[in-house]
C-alpha cells in the first residue's frame, strides 16, 4: 500500500470476501458540511500528502442516519510516524497499536492506520506512548478492507472517502443501517469470545440508535454472556461510563438486563431488581437521563452510584428511613462497594468519592442541623456526587424530598453569602475563636470516618 496507490482507485475487497459496495456522492446523504472543520482539515491534509484518507466508524454511521456524531475518527494508510510528521498538533498514543491524536482547541481527531488485527482496543491512560514498548509489527497493518472486517458491527464498518465523497461498505453495513439492525461482522460467538466487551457495545448501540439486535447476534450474547467477566475491568468500566453519560442509560441498562449481561457486569444492580419491587434502578436511571439531557453537571461517580444505590438502600433502609447508625452504615457501604470497586477497577479516589457520597446521603436525608454542618458538607469533595444522588432519589421516589428541599434552600443561601440556616452564622465568619473555646466540638464516635474509608482503599 504505497502513497501513490492511494486515494483515487476503486476500493478493493479483502481476499475471499465479497467486493465492497460503493455509493457515489449523489447516492447517499452524508454531507461534508456536517463533518467538523477540524476533521475535514485532517482528512484533506492526509489526502493531499498522497494517502488514503477516510472518515470511519461511528461518525459515518451517525451522519448516514441523520444523527450528530460524538466524535470523528479517521482511517488512513499513513503510518503513525507519517501522521505525526504531517501534524504539529499530533500526539502518538497506544502501546501495541499506535494511534495519532490530533488536538484542536474544541476537539481531538483520532487518526488510526488501517490494520488487520481484530484485537480489542486498549484503554488509554492519558500518557504518551511508552517509547520502549514494542511497536505493532508491520504485518499487523492492513488494507482498508481488512480494517473494515476487523471492526465490531456492520454499521460501524463503513468508510467515507474524502477523495471522491463516496461511502465504501465492505461488510454489509449499509443494509443493516437501513433496516436498523446491530449485527456483528463475522460469526458472533467468535467475535464475542475474541472481545466480550462487544456484547455490551451491541446492547448500547441498539438502545442508543433504537435498532434491534440481529437474532444470531442476540443468541450469541445469551450464550456467551458470562464471558464478559473475563474482560479487563477498565474496559468494562469505560463502557459502563459511556452508557451512563449519554442520557440514554435507562434503555441501555434495561437492554443489559434483558440480554442477561447486567447479572455479570453489575450483579448488585441485577440482584436489587429482583429484591425490590419498586423498580428503583429504572426510576433512578430515568431521572439521571433527564439530568444529563438537560445538561446538568453530573459527576460520573453519581451516575455509577445509581447502579449501587438500590442494593445499598435495601441494606440500610426500612420504609424509606435509614435505620442504621452511621458506624454500621459505613460498614455496609464498605462491604457493598468492595466487590464492584475491584470488578470495575475504581481508582482509589473514585472509590473514596462513591463511599463518602453514600455516607453523606444519610446526612442529606434529614434537614441540615446547623449552618456549620452545611458549610462542612458542601465543602467535602464527595458533595457533588452525594448531592446528585440525593436529588435523583428525591425526584425518583419522593424519598427525603423535604430534607433535600431544605438542603437546597440552605445551599442557595450560602451561595448568596447568607448564613446557610436562617439565624445562623455567615459562611465566611466560620467559627470564631471565642465561640469555639466556649463550646468545644462534640465528638460523636459515629461521625468519625474510619481510616480505611478516608484513605479510599479500593
Ligand atoms: P460512538 O458514537 O460511541 O463514538 P463509535 O462507533 O464511534 O461510537 P468508538 O468506541 O468511538 O465507537 O469506536 C470507533 C470505532 O472503532 C467503532 O465504530 C468500531 O468500528 C471500532 N471499534 C471500537 N471498539 C471496537 C471493538 N471492541 N472491536 C472492534 N471494533 C471496535
Ligand atoms: Mg466514536
Which residue of 58, 173, 195, 208 sits with most ligand 1 atoms within 8 Å of its CB, as the best mutation to test the pocket? 58
Query: Which of these ranges, 28-37, 122-131, 200-209, 271-280, has the smallest mean pLDDT?
Result: 122-131
Span 372-397, pLDDT tens digits: 999 999 999 999 999 999 999 999 99
The three three-digit cell numbers of residue 71, written as one number:
466524535
**What pLDDT, on the 0 to 100 scale, is given for residue 72?**
97
Is the model's pLDDT at 198 over the cut of 90? Answer: yes
Is the model's pLDDT at 276 over the cut of 60? Answer: yes
Q: What is the mean pLDDT of the chain?
A: 87
Q: What percent of the chain has pLDDT over 70?
A: 86
Which residue of 36, 54, 57 sits with most ligand 1 atoms within 8 Å of its CB, as the best mutation to test the pocket? 57
The three three-digit cell numbers of residue 132, written as one number:
520502549
Query: Which of these ranges, 2-11, 89-98, 101-110, 362-371, has the smallest mean pLDDT?
Result: 2-11
CATH architecture, domain 1-179: 2-Layer Sandwich (3.30)
Query: Which of these ranges, 195-204, 345-354, 377-386, 425-434, has the smallest mean pLDDT?
Result: 425-434
**What pLDDT, on the 0 to 100 scale, is given for residue 138?**
54
* Entry field: residues in the chain: 458
With a CB cutoff of 8 Å and minimum separation 6, the contacts of 131 are none
For residue 208, give the ligand nearest its CA.
1
User: Cα(263)–Cα(265) distance, rounded to whole angstroms?
Assistant: 6
Mean pLDDT confidence for 171-177? 98
Residues serving a catalytic function are 71, 73, 152
Residue 427 confidence class, pLDDT cut points 50, 70, 90: very low
Cα distances from 287 to residues 147, 207, 268, 390, 398, in angstroms, run 39, 17, 20, 11, 12
**What pLDDT, on the 0 to 100 scale, is given for residue 435?**
41
**What pLDDT, on the 0 to 100 scale, is given for residue 421?**
79
For residue 118, give the ligand nearest its CA.
1
Instruction: Indicate the pTM of the whole model.
Output: 0.86
Q: Which residues of 394-404 are buried (b: 16+ CB within 10 A; e: fewer)?
A: bbbbebbeebb
Q: How far is the CA of 282 from the centre of ligand 1 (A)?
A: 27
**Residue closest by Cα to atom 30 of ligand 1:** 151
User: Cα(34)–Cα(43) distance, rounded to whole angstroms?
Assistant: 14
Mean pLDDT confidence for 71-91? 96
Q: What is the largest CA-CA distance in the chain?
A: 86
Span 210-236, pLDDT tens digits: 999 999 999 999 999 999 999 999 999
User: Cα(349)–Cα(356) distance, rounded to whole angstroms?
Assistant: 10
Pocket of ligand 1 (CB under 6 A): 57-58, 70-71, 73, 120-121, 151-152, 156-157, 195, 197-198
With a CB cutoff of 8 Å and minimum separation 6, the contacts of 415 are none
**Residue closest by Cα to atom 5 of ligand 1:** 58
Identify which has the larger pLDDT, 418 or 102.
Answer: 102
Q: How far is the CA of 86 from the centre of ligand 2 (A)?
A: 22
Which residue of 71, 74, 117, 152 sits with most ligand 1 atoms within 8 Å of its CB, as the best mutation to test the pocket? 152
Mean pLDDT confidence for 256-275? 96
**What pLDDT, on the 0 to 100 scale, is given for residue 431?**
41
Is the separation of the CB atoms in 62 and 69 below 8 Å? yes
Query: Which of these ranges, 113-117, 161-165, 185-189, 192-196, has the smallest mean pLDDT?
Result: 113-117
Identify which has the larger pLDDT, 97 or 207.
Answer: 207
**Residue closest by Cα to atom 6 of ligand 1:** 58
> Of all helices (H) and strands (E), which one includes residue 372?
helix 371-379
Span 36-74, pLDDT tens digits: 999 999 999 999 999 999 999 999 999 999 999 999 999
Mean pLDDT confidence for 140-147? 93
For residue 124, give the ligand nearest its CA.
1
Amino acid at each position: 500500500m504505497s502513497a501513490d496507490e492511494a486515494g483515487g482507485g476503486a476500493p478493493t475487497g479483502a481476499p475471499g470476501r465479497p467486493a465492497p459496495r460503493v455509493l457515489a456522492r449523489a447516492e447517499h446523504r452524508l454531507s461534508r458540511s456536517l463533518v467538523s472543520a477540524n476533521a475535514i482539515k485532517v482528512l484533506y491534509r492526509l489526502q493531499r500528502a498522497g494517502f488514503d484518507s477516510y472518515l470511519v466508524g461511528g461518525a459515518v454511521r451517525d451522519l448516514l442516519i441523520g444523527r450528530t456524531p460524538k466524535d470523528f475518527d479517521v482511517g488512513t494508510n499513513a503510518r503513525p510516524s507519517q501522521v505525526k510528521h504531517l501534524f504539529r498538533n499530533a500526539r502518538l498514543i497506544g502501546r501495541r497499536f499506535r494511534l495519532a491524536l490530533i488536538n484542536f482547541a474544541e476537539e481531538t481527531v483520532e487518526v488510526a492506520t488501517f490494520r488487520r488485527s481484530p484485537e480489542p482496543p486498549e484503554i488509554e491512560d492519558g500518557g504518551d506512548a511508552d517509547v520502549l514498548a514494542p511497536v505493532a509489527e508491520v504485518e499487523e497493518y492492513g488494507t482498508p478492507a481488512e480494517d473494515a472486517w476487523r471492526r465490531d458491527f456492520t454499521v460501524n464498518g463503513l468508510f467515507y472517502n474524502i477523495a471522491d465523497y463516496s461511502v465504501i461498505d465492505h461488510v454489509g453495513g449499509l443494509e443493516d443501517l437501513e433496516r436498523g439492525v446491530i449485527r456483528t461482522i463475522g460469526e458472533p460467538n467468535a467475535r464475542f469470545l475474541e472481545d466480550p466487551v462487544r456484547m455490551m457495545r451491541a446492547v448500547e448501540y441498539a438502545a442508543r440508535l433504537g435498532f434491534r439486535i440481529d437474532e444470531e447476534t442476540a443468541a450469541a450474547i445469551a450464550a456467551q454472556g458470562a464471558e464478559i467477566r473475563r474482560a479487563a475491568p477498565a474496559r468494562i468500566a469505560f463502557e459502563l461510563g459511556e452508557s451512563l453519560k449519554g442520557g440514554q442509560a435507562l434503555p441501555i441498562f434495561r437492554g443489559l438486563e434483558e440480554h442477561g449481561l447486567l447479572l455479570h457486569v453489575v450483579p448488585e444492580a441485577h440482584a436489587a431488581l429482583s429484591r425490590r419491587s419498586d423498580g428503583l434502578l429504572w426510576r433512578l436511571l430515568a431521572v439521571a437521563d433527564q439530568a444529563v439531557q438537560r445538561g446538568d453537571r453530573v459527576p460520573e461517580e453519581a451516575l455509577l452510584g445509581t447502579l449501587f444505590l438500590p442494593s445499598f438502600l435495601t441494606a440500610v433502609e426500612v420504609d424509606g428511613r435509614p435505620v442504621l447508625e452511621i458506624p454500621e452504615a459505613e460498614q455496609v457501604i464498605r462491604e457493598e462497594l468492595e466487590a464492584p470497586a475491584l470488578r470495575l477497577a475504581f481508582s482509589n479516589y473514585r472509590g473514596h468519592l462513591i463511599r463518602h457520597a453514600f455516607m453523606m446521603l444519610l446526612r442529606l436525608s434529614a434537614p441540615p442541623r446547623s449552618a456549620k454542618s452545611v458549610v462542612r458538607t458542601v465543602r467535602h469533595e464527595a458533595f457533588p456526587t452525594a448531592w446528585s444522588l440525593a436529588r435523583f432519589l428525591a425526584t425518583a421516589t419522593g424519598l427525603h424530598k423535604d430534607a433535600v428541599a431544605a438542603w437546597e434552600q440552605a445551599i442557595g443561601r450560602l451561595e448568596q453569602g447568607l448564613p446557610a440556616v436562617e439565624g445562623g452564622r455567615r459562611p465566611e465568619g466560620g467559627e470564631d475563636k471565642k465561640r469555639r473555646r466556649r463550646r468545644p466540638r462534640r465528638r460523636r464516635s459515629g461521625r468519625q470516618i474510619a481510616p480505611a474509608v478516608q484513605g479510599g482503599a479500593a
